[in-house]
Structure formats: structure tokens, C-alpha cells
Amino acid sequence: MSSTAAAGTLDHHIDPTTSTGIPNKKLLMWAFLASDCMFFGCLISTHLIYRLHPPPGTPVARQVFSIELTSFSTFILLMSSLMMALAVNAIQKGNLKSLRWSLLTTIFFGCIFLGCQVYEFRNFVYEKHLTITNSILGTTFFTLTGTHGLHVLIGVIWLSAMLIYSFTGRLTEKDSIDVESMGLYWHFVDIVWIVIFTAVYLLEYI
Amino acid sequence: MSAPATTAHPSGHELEQSKFWIFVQIAMLLAVITGLELVTVYLPFMKWILITALVILSTVKFMFVIFYFMHLRWDRVFCTILFFIGLILAGGTMWALLKLFGAEASTPPYSTAAEPAAMVLRVA
């Protein structure tokens, strides 16, 4: 599946210096993401298992969740993924100005997503009286979405650090693998949310 | 998706240019699929049909993100294999756990009579 870039242009998908032809940083990130799949797989399973047999007194998820807010968060995260893809595209072309704008927009969307999550959690705790300790739904829900939120927060910090680094003048087209690895992480956060949105939220409305 | 008409393969620069529009189009498609998912849950169909539709829609979104945004389409196939090993292991674990805990024998004794006994067991 390698690209067929013409001779003389920099092919960002192949590194001839490694035995696999894949840049080591990218390989490391893919291995990490594969392991993170298992981590989130277990958290999602735990939530679904407890939803199979809700104990008496468990709050009705449908009455607690706000599908409008969650759909908005999903849309925001998808758009942040687009901006991240454009940031990688920009650094691969050596376009630092475009990279900075794309990173800034991704950070902005990431912060909106986090803001929505904080609002949602606050609403659940204070308005719907669903906490991490008072029901099994609360425990599995807050653990799963909280862990995802933590991943988003780490992503936002990483993006911010990269944005600041881009102003030092040391970030060039040759370092595009650093931005690409960060992009892989950010897109992973997005695909985990795609699964959570369906498995945790939408299934409750059927 | 401005595919060059004069050459068999796009050059590196043309590929990067066309990627921009591919990404934008895919993002729009993902937004539309998310809207479809939302509509799906309110459709008056049987539960299994709706669940199947949701699983298919989210799988399509998932695949678009990993193959285009995460560049698997253009990367070495080893990256795809590596990621899918994790994905299959995670999916297999999820399937096994859901089957195990979905079985009738796994139904917890939540009846009001059984609850004090369960409490005693937990305390012990």
C-alpha cells in the first residue's frame, strides 16, 4: 500500500533506513495504539456487561444522557480529526503557517470537546445525581468516558507543545514524522469515540 | 480527489494536493454518517436491524478514519497488520466477555430475596 511518489520527492510513508521501511516513531505509535485498543476494548466491554444486567435502582441511561450534546461533541471531534489530517499534510509540504493554523484549530476543537465533557459530567452529577460511586452505570460510564477524556487532554497538551515547538524554527519537513505520530494518536482518540458514541450512547436509545 | 489525467501515477506533490480534498470530503462524509446514526435510533424498525445498521455505520466511519486520516491506505501494509492484531484481540476479548456474561447462567441474583445473601457473601 505504499505510495508511488516520483523520484526526487520526499516520500513520507517509507523510511529506507529501517529494516521494515517504516519510521521507528511511527511503528512505536502503531504498536502503542494496538495495545490501547485492548485497553479501551476492556473498558467498553465492562460497561456493556453491566448494562446487560443492571442491578435494581440503576438510573435509566436514556433519561440521564443528552444525545444532542453528545452528537455535537462527536461532530467536533470528527472536525478536529480533519484539521489534524490537514496539519500532517501541511508539515509534509513544509508549510509551517498552515501547520500552525491547523494545529491551533485542532486544539480549539479538542478544548470544546473537553468543555462539553466537563459540562456533561457536571450535569450528570449535580442535576441527574449520577456519580462514579452511587451506581454501576455511573462507575462504568465515568471510568470509560473519563479515560477517553484523559486521552483527549493528553492530546491537547501534546498538540500545544508541538504548536509552541513550531515557533522555535527547528520543526521542518524532515520532522514531519513527529507531527504524523501525534496525528495518529489524535485520530485514535477519534475512532475510540466513534465506538463509544455507538456502544454507550446510541444503543441506549433503541 | 483530483486524479491526474496525463500520468499513470500521481507525483508526490500532486498526491499531497489531492489528499487535502480527500480529507475534506471524508470529513463531510463522516459528519453525514453521524447524522444518519442519529436518525437510525429513532426509526421504527426491529431492534436487531437498528443495531446492525449502527454497527455497520460506525464501522464505515472507523475504517475511513484509519485508512485515510491515519494514512494506512498509503503506508506499508505492516502498519495495518500491527494495528489489526490489537483490534482483533480487543474485539475477540469483547465478544468473549459479552458471550460469557450474556449467558443465562451469568445472570446475577438481583432478586430482593437473593440480595441479602449476596451482601453477606460480599462482607464475608
End-to-end CA distance of chain A: 39
**Which residues of chain B lie closer than 8 angstroms to A188, CB-CB?**
70
pLDDT band at A172 (very low <50, low <70, confident <90, very high): confident
pLDDT at B110: 65
- Here the cell at position A53 is 444486567
> ipTM of this complex > 0.85?
yes
Give chain A's domains with CATH numbers: 24-52+65-205 (1.20.120.80)
pLDDT at B94: 92
Q: Tell me which residue of B75, B2, B37, B94 sits closest to A78, measured CA to CA.
A: B37
The secondary structure of residue A14, as a DSSP letter, is: -
- Here the cell at position B7 is 500520468
pLDDT at B38: 94
Distance in angstroms (rounded) separating the CA atoms of residues A30 and A11: 19
pLDDT band at A12 (very low <50, low <70, confident <90, very high): low
- Domain positions in chain B are 12-123
The secondary structure of residue B45, as a DSSP letter, is: S
| Minimum-distance CB partner of A42 among B82, B93, B112 | B93
Stretches in chain B below the pLDDT threshold 70: 1-17, 110-124
Distance in angstroms (rounded) separating the CA atoms of residues B108 and B115: 10
pLDDT at A5: 42
Within the 139-178 window of chain A, which residues sit less than 8 Å (CB to CB) from chain B? none
In chain B, where do the E strands start and end? none
In this predicted structure, the answer to whether residue A29 has a pLDDT above a threshold of 50 is yes
- What is the overall mean pLDDT for chain A? 90
| pLDDT tens, residue by residue, A105-160 | 999 999 999 999 999 999 999 999 899 998 889 999 999 999 999 999 999 999 99
pLDDT at B20: 87
Rounded (5°) CA angle A30-A33-A39: 155
pLDDT at B59: 96
- Here the cell at position B73 is 491506505
Q: How far from the centroid of its chain's Cα atoms is residue A48's Cα?
A: 21
Task: Answer yes or no: do A82 and B83 touch at CB < 8 A.
Answer: no
Whether the pTM exceeds 0.95: the reply is no
Task: Answer yes or no: do B87 and A34 touch at CB < 8 A.
Answer: yes
Q: Tell me which residue of B21, B20, B61, B19 sits closest to B40, measured CA to CA.
A: B61
Distance in angstroms (rounded) separating the CA atoms of residues A127 and A50: 23
